[in-house]
Structure 1
Amino acid sequence: MDYHGIITLEPGKRGGRPCIRGLRLTVYDILEQLASGMTPAEIVEDFPELTEPDIYACLSFAADKERQLERLQAP
Structure 2
Amino acid sequence: MLALLSAGADLEEILEDYPYLEEADVRACLKYASLQADHAILVAA
Alignment TM-score, normalising by the size of structure 1: 0.52
**Which protein has the bigger strand share?**
1
Q: Which residue of 2 aligns with 1:54?
A: 25
Tell me, in whole angstroms, the C-alpha distance in 1 between the residues paired with 2:34 and 2:27: 11
**Relative CO higher for 1 or 2, CA cutoff 8 Å, sep ≥ 6?**
2
Which structure's CA Rg is the greater one? 2
Tell me, in whole angstroms, the C-alpha distance in 2 between the residues paired with 1:36 and 1:72: 27
Q: Which residue of 2 aligns with 1:72?
A: 41
CA RMSD of aligned residues (A): 1.1
**Which protein has the bigger helix share?**
2
Matched, 1:34 2:34: no
Distance apart, 1:40 and its partner CA:
1.1
Identity of aligned residues (%): 36
Count residues in correspondence: 42
- Cα deviation, 1:17-52, whole Å, max 9, x if unaligned, reads xxxxxxxxxxxxx00000110011110000000001
Tell me, in whole angstroms, the C-alpha distance in 1 between the residues paired with 2:26 and 2:4: 10
Runs of 4 or more consecutive aligned structure 1 residues displaced over 2 Å after TM superposition: none
Alignment TM-score, normalising by the size of structure 2: 0.82
Q: Which residue of 2 aligns with 1:4?
A: none
Where structure 1 has 5 or more consecutive residues not aligned to the other structure, the ranges are 1-29
